[in-house]
Structures are given as C-alpha cells and as structure tokens.
Amino acid sequence: MSNLWLDLGNTRLKYWLTDEVGQLVTHQARQHLQAPAELLMGLTDRIERLAPEFIGISSVLGDQINASVAETLSHLGIAFEFVHVDAEHRLMRSNYEANQLGVDRWLQMLGVVDRKKRQCVIGCGTAVTIDLIDHAEHMGGYIFPNIYLQRESLFSGTKQITISNGVFDSIAPGICTQDAVHRGILLSIVGAINEISQRHPNFELIFTGGDAPIIAQHITRPVYIRNDLLLEGLGRFFHDY
C-alpha cells in the first residue's frame, strides 16, 4: 500500500510518496504563490499516475483554501484526510492551546518524539519555532520570525538601511552595514537557542527545516539535523492514531 503525504505550507506545496513499509519513493516541492488548489489541480495527473491508496494532508492555509483543495482531490477517487492537532495523541500529549498550535509545528514534534528522552525541536522554516518536549509531553515553546522575515521587517521599518542582499554566514561583528544587519539577525536567533539550551541542558537539540544548517552550525552544543520531520509526523499520525 502506497501513501501520498501532502504538505501545504505558507509558501510551498510538497508531497512525498511512500511505499508499504514507509520508504520514500518520490517527492516534489513547488512554490504555490498562494494558489495551492490551482497548483494541485495541475498535479492531479501525476498523482493519478502515482496511484496512492491514501492521501494524508497537513495544511496551515485555513478552511477556505482547504475546502478548495478537498474539492480538487475529491475528483481523484482516492481516500484523503486532513490532519488535525490532537493534544491527547497517544504518542505525545501537549499542554499548548490545541486550537493555536500549528499543525506543521505539531507534526514536526510528532515525527521525532520519544518517551525516553527530553527533546527540544527547532523548526527553521517561514518561522523559527522552538518546542520543548519532556518524555513525550509538550511543555510549550517559542516562535520567532525567520532570518528573512526579520530582514524584510528591518528594511521596511528604517529609512537609512536599504541593503536587501547579503548572506547569513557568520555571527562575528560586521564592519559594514550589510554584514552588521545579517550577522545581527542571525545572532538574535542563535543567541535565543543557546540561551534555551543552557536553561535545559538535558534536552536533545533537534533541528529541521530549510534554514537548519545555517543556524545549527553556530549552536554551542551538539545538535541533530533531521530532514522531513513533517513527513515522518504525517506517517506516525495516521499509523498510530
């Protein structure tokens, strides 16, 4: 039995096809430009060729867009279901307000949670999310704008700083405005993570998301980078629910 796992994020539509034992067969990621239902409609022929028996969906895009996505998928004749956050899921209990916990953030945690461990899961996507899990109990966490959103906010809020290019490659002091901006933004996130790490020294640090390698290299403790935690969380949600 093959499954298609569909992730509707803030900027990208991603899917993974896994086989009967959960191994990845194929995957794709496309920018949806705030029109995921239209993009998905263009992918329906490909999905039909992949012939999954089930489609599991993670979406942060709201009820209206989800309804459009559901209508598009309904024409395929393939069973599908949207993930909902369950604060009492058998794999992990959460103390967070369930109706305010993003499904993508929750699935990232579900993809790695281990009852034998204390864990700090750091998602490096459109937002930087930091979540603390104590032996499969979600204690809560923190949310930051990512490095690019911080840069955009700085440029839109100041008249004297107009540099919009540059790289986030160091936290050493900058000797020009371009470097000072990029290194200051990166340091703000790195410093926060290092502070949380010091406050919770027995928590394993797990990074995921596209910007994980940029940030993780500056952390003062050993870290683990796990790609596609949301994929793993989708599989665990539907197999262990």
Which residues have a catalytic role annotated? 104
Find the Cα–Cα–Cα–Cα dihedral 58, 62, 65, 68, rounded to 10°. Answer: 70
Q: Contact, 9 vs 125, CB < 8 A?
A: yes
SS (H, E, C) 159-172: CCCCCCCCCCCCCC
Residue 76 CB burial class (10 angstroms; 0-12, 13-18, ≥19)? middle
Look at the chain and count its residues.
241
User: What Cα–Cα distance (Å) separates residue 241 from each residue in 70, 98, 124?
Assistant: 21, 16, 26
Question: Which of 206, 235, 240, 209 lies closest to 24, judged by CA?
Answer: 235
Task: Count CB-CB contacts under 10 A for residue 225.
Answer: 17
